[in-house]
Amino acid sequence: MSEPAIRIAQMHKYYGTFHALKDINLEIAKGEKVVICGPSGSGKSTLIRCVNRLEEHQAGDIVVMGTPLDDNVDNIDEIRREAGMVFQNFNLFPHMTVLENCMLAPVLARRIERSEAENTAMQYLERVKIPEQAHKYPGELSGGQQQRVAIARALCMAPEIMLFDEPTSALDPEMISEVLDVMVGLAEEGMTMVCVTHEMGFARRVADRVIFMADGEIIEQGAPDQFFDNPQNERTKLFLSQIVSD
Amino acid sequence: MAKMFQPPKDSFQSRIKSRYFATRRDTIISIVFATFVAWVLWSLIGWALLNATFAPNAGDICREDLHGGACWSVVSTRWRIVLFGLYPFEEQWRSALACVVMVVVGVLSCLPWFWSAKRMAPLWVVGFAVFYILMRGGFFGLSEVTEQNWGGLSLTIFIFAGTSLLGMPLAIIFALLRRSELPWIARTMALVIDTIRSLPLLSIMFTFAIVLPFVLPDGWTGDKLYRVIVGYALFFACYQAEIIRGGMQSLPVGQEEAAKALGLGYWHRIGYIVLPQAFRNALPPTVNQFVITVKETSLVTIIGFFDVMASGRAASGTAEWNFAVIEMYVFVGLIFFVFVFSLSRYGAYLERRLGVGKR
Ligand SMILES: Nc1ncnc2c1ncn2[C@@H]1O[C@H](COP(=O)(O)OP(=O)(O)OP(=O)(O)O)[C@@H](O)[C@H]1O
Ligand SMILES: [Mg+2]
C-alpha cells in the first residue's frame, strides 16, 4: 500500500490546560473522501487546522504527503502548499479582485509566471462557474459566489488535498447547493478531501468514510451507509437523531 | 403613475427656505449670523486687499497709512528670507529649485502609479539626491553651502521629508516587532514605544541635538540637522507604529490564516495581506499624523535652525519692519496651510478611492 495522504498518530492538542484533542489516530488514503461530524466544540475544526499548522499540536506525529509536520518552516510551507483549505467565512482578501485572490499564492509561493497563473485562475473560475466575476471585488459577490471563489483560489495552488471547515454553514439555504455541487464535482475527479460538515446528504453521496467526534476524541467511524443506518455508539445515535430532527 | 414615486425635487429657493427660514426663530438667527459673517468678511477683505499696501520697500508708506490696511510690503520686500533663510543670496535659485524638486517628488508619490516599492524607492532616492546636491553643492561647480546655512521653506521641507522617509519604515518595523510571537521582543518594543511617546518631542530633540554628541564617539555624530531628523523620525515612528498596529488589529484573524493556508510565507503575508489592509484601515489617523508632523517641524527654531517659521519672525524682526509682524505670520501661516490642506484633501481622496474595494 502506498503512503497515505495524511497520517496522524497519537496526536494530542492542548489550548493552555484544556485538552482539545485526545490521542487522535487517523490515516487518510490518497483520493479518499472523509467527512467529519460531531457536536459543537468537539474539536473538528481544531483537528483539520492541526493538519496545516494553523494550530500547533503538542504530542504525536502528523505526516502530510510524506512530509512530516514539525517545526521546520520549509516543511510547514510545503504542507500548506499541498493542502488547500476552505473556511466557513470564506476569508477572501477584500482589497484584491477575485482574479488577484486566485493568482496571488501561485505567483508568490509557487513562483509561477503571471500570465500562466492568470490562465489557471480563469480555468478554475470557470470550473466554479463564475468567470464573469473575475474583476469584481469579493465584497460585490454573494456568499455562495464568495465561497466558490475561495474554492477556486485554493485549487489554483494545485493541492493534493483539500480541507473544508464547514464550508456551507455561513450560507443562506438557497446558496448551499451551488457550493456543494462544486465539491461533489471535485470529489468525482478524485481529489483527496477532508470535510467538516453537517450536510448529511453530501456525506452519503460523496464520502468514503464518516468520522464522528465528541469531546476531542474520535468516537466512531465507518462507511456512510453503515454509519448513518446502523451507528454503534450511543453518542453517535443521539447526535444523528438530533441533526435529523432539525 | 411612475412619477408619483419620485422624490419631489427641491428647488434652490425651497431648500434655502426650509433650512434657514423655517420658523421665526430660525429666520432671526440666520439673519443675525449672516450679518455677522458679512461684516467679518468685509473687514477682512478691506484689511487684506482693499486698503493694503503691496509694493516692495514701502515701509514708510505703511507706517503713515491712515486706512489701517495690511502692509504686504513686508512680504514683497523680504520674502526671500522666509523662503531661503540664511542661504547665500546669489545661490538662492538652488534652494528654490530643490524645493520644487521635493514638492514634485511628493506629488508624484501620491499618484497610484508609483505605489510599489520598485517605483517609489528610486523616485525618492533620486529626489533626495538631487535635493541634497542642489542644496549642499560642492559638486558640478556648485559652491558649497553647509547645513548651518540652510533655512526657510527648503529646510522645513527637508526636515519633513527626511522624517517621513525615515520614520515610516521604522514605524512598520516597530509595529511588526510589537506583535512578534516572541514575548520578550514584543514587550521590549512596547516599552520603547510607550516610553518615547510619553516624552515631550522637545526633550527628544534636545537629546539628539545637544546631548548625543557628548555620548557618541567622535565622527559618529553627524551634523546636528541629521541628528534632529533622526530624533523626529523616532518620535514619528512610535506614534505611527501604534496607528499601524491599530490597523492590523482591526483585520479579522481569518485573513492571515487564509494567507498561511495558501502557503504564503511571513513577508508575503505581511506585504500583500496584512499591511495593505492595515494602512487602509488606518488611513485617517495616518494623514492626521503627517499633518501633525508638518506643524511640528517648526519646533527646530528652538535649537537654532531657521525653518520657515523662524525665518518669518526674523524677516519681520528688524526695527524697520517690526510693526508688520502680523502680516508676516499670516504669510507663513498661508504656506503651512497650503501644505496641510492639500495633505488632508489628498487623505479624503484616498479614503474614497480605497473604499471601492472594501464594501
Ligand atoms: N484558540 C482557542 N483557545 C482556547 N480554546 C479553544 C480555541 N479554539 C478552540 N478552543 C476550544 O477547543 C474546543 C474545540 O473547538 P473546535 O473549534 O475545534 O470545535 P468544533 O468541533 O469545530 O466546533 P464547531 O462545530 O462549533 O465549529 C472547544 O471547546 C473550544 O472552546
Ligand atoms: Mg468548527
Residue A217 Cα to ligand 1 midpoint, Å, equals 13
CA distance A205 to chain B (A): 27
Residue owning grid cell 432539525? A246
**Spatial distance between the Cα atoms of B54 and A46, rounded to a whole number of angstroms:** 76
- The predicted-structure confidence for B333-357, as pLDDT tens digits, reads as follows 888 888 888 888 888 888 887 764 4
Interface of B with A in 66-105 (CB under 8 A): none
Do the chains contact at B254 and A87, CB–CB below 8 Å? yes
Residue A163 Cα to ligand 1 midpoint, Å, equals 17
Do the chains contact at B357 and A95, CB–CB below 8 Å? yes
**Spatial distance between the Cα atoms of B196 and B212, rounded to a whole number of angstroms:** 16
Do the chains contact at B262 and A94, CB–CB below 8 Å? no
**Spatial distance between the Cα atoms of B234 and B238, rounded to a whole number of angstroms:** 6
CA distance A117 to chain B (A): 14
Q: What angle do CA B309, B311, B313 make, to 5 degrees?
A: 75
In this structure, which residue's CA is closest to atom 14 in ligand 1?
Answer: A43
Note the pLDDT of residue B356. Answer: 44
Q: Terminus-to-terminus CA distance in chain B, angstroms?
A: 35
Contact B153, B83 (CB under 8 A): yes
DSSP B323: G
Note the pLDDT of residue B64. Answer: 74
Task: Tell me the CA distances in angstroms from A20 to A14, A17, A69, B268, one per residue in order.
Answer: 5, 9, 19, 31
Residue owning grid cell 510690503? B73
Q: What angle do CA A137, A141, A145 make, to 5 degrees?
A: 120
Contacts of A242 (CB under 8 A, 6+ apart): none
Task: Tell me the CA distances in angstroms from A14 to A71, A245, B18, one per residue in order.
Answer: 17, 33, 66
**Is residue B344 packed enough to be buried (19+ CB in 10 Å), middle (13-18) or exposed (0-12)?**
middle
In this structure, which residue's CA is closest to atom 18 in ligand 1?
Answer: A43
Note the pLDDT of residue A146. Answer: 94
Note the pLDDT of residue B67. Answer: 61
Instruction: Please state the pTM of the whole predicted model.
Output: 0.84
Chain B residues touching A142 at Cβ < 8 A: none
Which set of grid coordinates corresponds to residue A138? 469579493
Note the pLDDT of residue B215. Answer: 77
Which set of grid coordinates corresponds to residue B74? 513686508
Contact A97, A118 (CB under 8 A): no
Do the chains contact at A139 and B276, CB–CB below 8 Å? no
Residue A61 Cα to ligand 1 midpoint, Å, equals 21
**Spatial distance between the Cα atoms of B315 and B72, rounded to a whole number of angstroms:** 13
- For residue B82, pLDDT over 50 is answered with yes
Note the pLDDT of residue B359. Answer: 42
User: Which of A205, A229, A202 minimizes the C-alpha distance to A37?
Assistant: A202
Do the chains contact at A80 and B262, CB–CB below 8 Å? yes
**Spatial distance between the Cα atoms of B209 and B163, rounded to a whole number of angstroms:** 15
Which set of grid coordinates corresponds to residue B316? 519681520
Choose the most confident range, by mean pLDDT, from A98-107, A228-237, B40-49. A98-107
Which residue of chain A has the CA closest to B253? A91
In this structure, which residue's CA is closest to atom 28 in ligand 1?
Answer: A41
Note the pLDDT of residue B350. Answer: 82
- The predicted-structure confidence for B153-177, as pLDDT tens digits, reads as follows 888 888 888 898 899 999 999 999 9
**Of the ranges A43-57, B88-102, B133-147, which one carries the lowest mean pLDDT score?**
B133-147
Note the pLDDT of residue B4. Answer: 56
- Judging by DSSP bridges, how do beta strands A6-15 and A59-64 pair with one another? antiparallel
CA distance B265 to chain A (A): 7
The secondary element (H helix, E strand) that includes residue A214 is strand A209-214
Of residues A81, A91, A137, nearest to B254 (C-beta)? A91
DSSP letters along A109-168, please? Answer: HS---HHHHHHHHHHHHHHTT-GGGTTS-GGGS-HHHHHHHHHHHHHTT--SEEEEESTT
User: Which of A43, A62, A48 minimizes the C-alpha distance to A163?
Assistant: A48
Chain A residues touching B271 at Cβ < 8 A: none
Select the more confidently predicted residue: A157 or B323: A157
Contacts of A77 (CB under 8 A, 6+ apart): A109, B263, B265
Residue A137 Cα to ligand 2 midpoint, Å, equals 27
- For residue A138, pLDDT over 50 is answered with yes
Give the ranges where A32-113 is alpha helix by DSSP (H): 44-51, 73-82, 98-109
Note the pLDDT of residue B334. Answer: 87
Which residues' Cβ are closer than 6 Å to ligand 1?
Answer: A 15, 18, 20, 38, 40-46
Taking the Cβ of residue B112 and every Cβ of chain A, the question of whether any pair is shorter than 8 Å is answered with no
Do the chains contact at A95 and B257, CB–CB below 8 Å? no
Q: How many CA atoms lie within 13 A of B85 on its CB side?
A: 26
Which atom of ligand 1 is least distant from the CA of A213? 21
- Judging by DSSP bridges, how do beta strands A6-15 and A18-28 pair with one another? antiparallel
Note the pLDDT of residue B150. Answer: 82
- The predicted-structure confidence for A71-120, as pLDDT tens digits, reads as follows 888 999 999 999 999 999 999 999 999 999 999 999 999 999 999 999 99
- The predicted-structure confidence for B249-272, as pLDDT tens digits, reads as follows 999 999 999 999 999 999 999 999
In this structure, which residue's CA is closest to atom 7 in ligand 1?
Answer: A15
Q: What is the CA radius of gyration of chain A?
A: 18
**Spatial distance between the Cα atoms of A85 and A102, rounded to a whole number of angstroms:** 13
Residue B8: which pLDDT band, with cuts at 50, 70 and 90?
A: low
Residue B253 Cα to ligand 2 midpoint, Å, equals 15
The residues pairing with B56 across neighbouring beta strands, listed in sequence order, are none
Taking the Cβ of residue B253 and every Cβ of chain A, the question of whether any pair is shorter than 8 Å is answered with no
User: Which of B78, B25, B39 minimizes the C-alpha distance to B313?
Assistant: B78
Contact A90, A151 (CB under 8 A): no
In this structure, which residue's CA is closest to atom 22 in ligand 1?
Answer: A45
Do the chains contact at B260 and A52, CB–CB below 8 Å? yes
Note the pLDDT of residue B347. Answer: 83
Do the chains contact at B264 and A153, CB–CB below 8 Å? no
**Spatial distance between the Cα atoms of B317 and A228, rounded to a whole number of angstroms:** 93
Note the pLDDT of residue B66. Answer: 57
- The predicted-structure confidence for B187-211, as pLDDT tens digits, reads as follows 999 999 999 999 998 888 888 888 8
Rounded mean pLDDT, B9-37: 85
DSSP B53: B
In this structure, which residue's CA is closest to atom 24 in ligand 1?
Answer: A40
User: Which of A96, A178, A17 minimizes the C-alpha distance to B264?
Assistant: A96
Q: Is the dihedral of CA B1, B2, B5, B11 positive or negative?
A: negative
